[in-house]
Amino acid sequence: MIRVHLDFESRSTVDIWKSGAWVYSTHPTTQILCLCYAIGERPVQLITKDELELGIIPDDFLECIRDKTIIFVAHNAFFERVMWKNIMAPRHGLAEVSLDRWRCTAAKACTCGLPKALDKVALALELSHKKDAEGKRIMLKMCKPRKAKKNEDPDIIYWHESEEDFEKLHKYCKQDVEVERAVDHKLPELTAVEQQIWILDQVINVRGVQIDRNAVENILNLIHEYEKELTLEVNKLTNGYIDKVSKRQRVVNWLEAQNVQVPNLQKQTVEDLLNAGLPKKVHRVLEIKQQLGKTSTAKYQAMMDAIDEGSRLRDTLVYHSASTGRWGGKLVQLHNLPKGIPGLNTDTACEILQEGDMIYAKSMYDNIMGTISSCIRGMIIPKQGYELLVADYASIEARVVVWLAGEQKAIKLFQDATKDIYVEMAKLIFNNPKLTKKDKTERNLGKQAVLGCGYGMGADKFKDTCATFGIIVSKELAKKAVDTYRQNYQAVKRFWYAQENDAIKAVRDGSCNQWKNTGEFLTCDLLSGRKLYYHRPRLDMVLTPWGEEKQAVTHMTIDAKTKQYVRTSTYGGKIVENITQATARDIMAWAMCRCETYGYKPILTVHDEIIAEMPIDTGSIEFFIKILTAPISWAKGCPIAAEGWKGQRYKKT
């Protein structure tokens, strides 16, 4: 099958990082500056801006468009696709290229556990084709308007467009196509199923979610008003020293001057200080810091920046963003919306806040910022005449890990609707067979153990994790909980060691059970037919956290903290976590494809949750859940369960 690799350079008054590729591609100021393409192994060809505008398109390229068997490949193909749909076709008169003809090299890179950016992939794969650094600088200059000079009309848009800059831009674009083609050759194709999931990802990203623009605008006014009010107060309280509570250094220094030493200004630290009976003035400053510290309110602005004219927010999902295959979020990160204040009715709160009336809002709620933050989810609504259907899988990873490990006792408990696995765990931890669901404290700890201990967590970490959920446990109790999990679910424990040993053997011998070493990648076959990839595997001696030298699998990965592509080591618990998360993702991704088929059109996914939009009363939650939990050929006996609801505003139940 012939592949044509292509890349656009473009310019616009729209900031693509804030508004996303869809809004960018539909904006009237957006123009294509050049297009480079390479048919098969032939040399890269250039179509300049002038040629494109005059309709001078080479015949071989026109033939590529016409011939429906020819595949179009781009890096981050979503951009090329929407530029084609919204500019190439309507403005330059070229025929459309259907979605099934597109492939994405960024998707391939992510699938293989490589960085997503083209220059970083090239570096990771040690390709001889490198991104052109000077060209990139020129591109960044040319892609946005320049400021008007003194004697120029400031109301007109000006661009950097010297002839030599254009030449460098052309060279840069050509080079990108070369790099992209080299990356494409070096990496395996997505599996047929994954290609379908990628296509669904593209559909969902174009479909987008409806945003309640009026409410967002009015709540933004409330935020600004409240920020102004509290900032003024903190200014007064500190004699002008703290002009903004977001300036951490200033706040720490001021507190120090009031004889209050703080290690940091994290949420918990501030909360503890507020309970420490500090002088009124200090207390109030911290209170204001807490109110204004909610970065989540920035999401309202992000929404305004990214929605299109019809108030639709698109292009927020990142395919295979996590190495396990999970989606990531962008623009308005919809994957970390605050759950909100427990017990608050956000449907009602949204209706009240959307009035944009501060006096009314204050009369109804004490914690204004907390309420505003709780209402962000509610800004996602269905379009006119439609309703949202929302369903999520119940504790999916805890279920998948016991199923993968073959831990029959736990599988049966998860399957048995009359039993509660958290209570059963609590009974063992507390040596008290009489515990029931009513023993909330005990059950809660059992729940934490069931949900948290599947990947080898130790007692110290377990104690900390419980604390983040507001559950305070002693070191002894934490150890008891962890030990009980391992004792009771020994198959899970064995699973950690089995996977670690298999991975090590595969690196050494080339293969072992589902693990294979191709030299470039260590892979692990998932039951779904997909693979997990670990780049440049090696066996190295590493130092364990408890100070022992040990042989371990190491591989290249993007460090979560530093964002650098570095060698890291892995071990049984972590590998099991990867396999489990990936399997849970596949269960959901397959369900999303079924949802699409049955008309339950997904508009968003949040790891274990699917949000669909349908004309009112054309779908039922019961059927939606059936779609989510339908038997899967490769997941027989996996005890999955889901629950859901429908409504006119998104929320956390």
Partner DNA sequence: CGTTCTCGCGCG
Partner DNA sequence: AAAGCGCGCGAGAACG
State which of positions 171-230 bind DNA (CB under 7 A). none
Residue 298 makes contact with DNA by CB under 7 A: yes
Kindly state the smallest distance separating residue 274's Cβ from DNA, in Å.
12
- Residue 414 to residues 212, 394, 639, Cα–Cα distance (Å): 39, 10, 6
d(CA 648, CA 616): 10
Closer to DNA by Cβ: residue 210 or 557: 557
Among the listed residues 571, 590, 600, 650, the single contact to DNA using CB under 7 A: 571
Among the listed residues 288, 331, 450, 614, the single contact to DNA using CB under 7 A: 331
Residue with tokens 């008309």: 599
Three-state DSSP at 498 gives: helix
Among the listed residues 294, 383, 409, 594, the single contact to DNA using CB under 7 A: 294
Closer to DNA by Cβ: residue 69 or 261: 261
Q: Which stretch binds DNA (CB under 7 A): 1-9, 45-53, 211-219, 261-269?
A: 261-269
Closer to DNA by Cβ: residue 309 or 548: 548
Closer to DNA by Cβ: residue 64 or 285: 285
Residue 120 makes contact with DNA by CB under 7 A: no
- For residues 58-117, which are near DNA according to CB under 7 A? none
409: Cβ contacts below 8 Å, ≥ 6 apart? 488, 489
What is the separation of C-alpha 15 from the centre of its chain, rounded to a whole number of angstroms?
Answer: 21
Closest CA to 628 of 301, 389, 415: 389
Q: Which stretch binds DNA (CB under 7 A): 91-99, 125-133, 167-175, 452-460?
A: 452-460
Contact assessment for residue 465 and residue 456, using Cβ atoms and an 8 Å cutoff: no
3-state secondary structure 232-293: HHHHHHCCCCCCCCCCHHHHHHHHHHCCCCCCCCCHHHHHHHHCCCCCHHHHHHHHHHHHHC
First CA to last CA across the chain, in angstroms?
48
269: Cβ contacts below 8 Å, ≥ 6 apart? 262, 263
Contact assessment for residue 130 and residue 122, using Cβ atoms and an 8 Å cutoff: yes
Amino acid letter at 138?
A: I
Kindly state the smallest distance separating residue 421's Cβ from DNA, in Å.
17
For the chain, what is the total number of helices (H) and then of strands (E)? 26, 20
Residue with tokens 């409240």: 226
Kindly state the smallest distance separating residue 372's Cβ from DNA, in Å.
12
Token output for 311: 């108030």
Closer to DNA by Cβ: residue 180 or 500: 500
d(CA 288, CA 230): 7
- Interhelix angle 421-429/475-488, nearest 10 degrees: 120
Contact assessment for residue 20 and residue 314, using Cβ atoms and an 8 Å cutoff: yes
- For residues 388-447, which are near DNA according to CB under 7 A? 392, 397
Among the listed residues 336, 348, 367, 518, the single contact to DNA using CB under 7 A: 336
- For residues 605-644, which are near DNA according to CB under 7 A? 606-609
Among the listed residues 339, 362, 419, 567, the single contact to DNA using CB under 7 A: 339
Closest CA to 485 of 522, 519, 524, 459: 459
Closer to DNA by Cβ: residue 168 or 299: 299
Closest CA to 48 of 102, 18, 8, 89: 8
Token output for 228: 């102004």
Residues that bind DNA (rule: CB under 7 A) add up to a total of 75
Closer to DNA by Cβ: residue 1 or 560: 560
For CA atoms 614, 617, 621, 622, give the dihedral sign.
negative
315: Cβ contacts below 8 Å, ≥ 6 apart? 20, 21, 22, 78, 205, 206, 208, 330, 331
Closer to DNA by Cβ: residue 551 or 618: 551
Among the listed residues 145, 356, 458, 647, the single contact to DNA using CB under 7 A: 458
d(CA 190, CA 198): 9
Kindly state the smallest distance separating residue 436's Cβ from DNA, in Å.
26
Closer to DNA by Cβ: residue 45 or 246: 246
Three-state DSSP at 431 gives: coil
From residue 520 to residue 549, the character string flagging contacts with DNA as x (rule: CB under 7 A) and all else as - is ----------------------x-xxx-x-
Closer to DNA by Cβ: residue 340 or 602: 340
- For residues 264-283, which are near DNA according to CB under 7 A? 264-267, 270
Contact assessment for residue 311 and residue 210, using Cβ atoms and an 8 Å cutoff: yes
Residue 459 makes contact with DNA by CB under 7 A: yes
Residue 488 makes contact with DNA by CB under 7 A: no
Q: Which stretch binds DNA (CB under 7 A): 161-169, 184-192, 278-286, 316-324?
A: 316-324
Kindly state the smallest distance separating residue 217's Cβ from DNA, in Å.
17
d(CA 336, CA 328): 10
From residue 344 to residue 383, the character string flagging contacts with DNA as x (rule: CB under 7 A) and all else as - is -----------------------------x----------
Residue 145 makes contact with DNA by CB under 7 A: no
Kindly state the smallest distance separating residue 546's Cβ from DNA, in Å.
4
d(CA 579, CA 326): 12
Kindly state the smallest distance separating residue 250's Cβ from DNA, in Å.
6
Residue 335 makes contact with DNA by CB under 7 A: yes
Residue 456 makes contact with DNA by CB under 7 A: yes
Residue 484 makes contact with DNA by CB under 7 A: no
Among the listed residues 574, 601, 625, 641, the single contact to DNA using CB under 7 A: 574
From residue 236 to residue 255, the character string flagging contacts with DNA as x (rule: CB under 7 A) and all else as - is --------x-xxxxx-----
Residue 330 makes contact with DNA by CB under 7 A: yes
